[in-house]
Chain A
Amino acid sequence: MPARHSAGAKAGIEESASIFFALGDETRLGLVSRLCDGGPSSIAKLTESFDMTRQAITKHLRVMEDAGLVRRSQQGRESQWRLEPRRLAEARRHLEAISAQWDGALMRLKKFVEH
Chain B
Amino acid sequence: MLTIYTYIQELFTERLPFVPSNVKASLFIILFCIIAFTELYIYIGTRRIKQWFEGKRNKKYKEIITNMLANIVVYDDDAESDEIIAHFTPEFKKLPLKNSAVREILIKELLHYHLNFTGKTADVLKGLYLQLKLNKYSKRKLNGRWETQIEGIREITQMWLKEEAETILKFTDDENSQVRMEAQASFVKLSMDNPFRFLDRARERILDWHQLILFEVITKTKNVEIPSFSPWLSSKNDTVIMLCLKLINHYQQLDAMPELIRLLQHANLHIRAKTINILGCIEAEMTEENLFEMYFDQPLEIKLEIIKAMGKIGSGNYLEFLTGRTYSENFKIRMEAMYSIKLHGITGIELLENIYKDTNMQNQVIIKHVLDERIVA
Do the two chains bind?
A: no
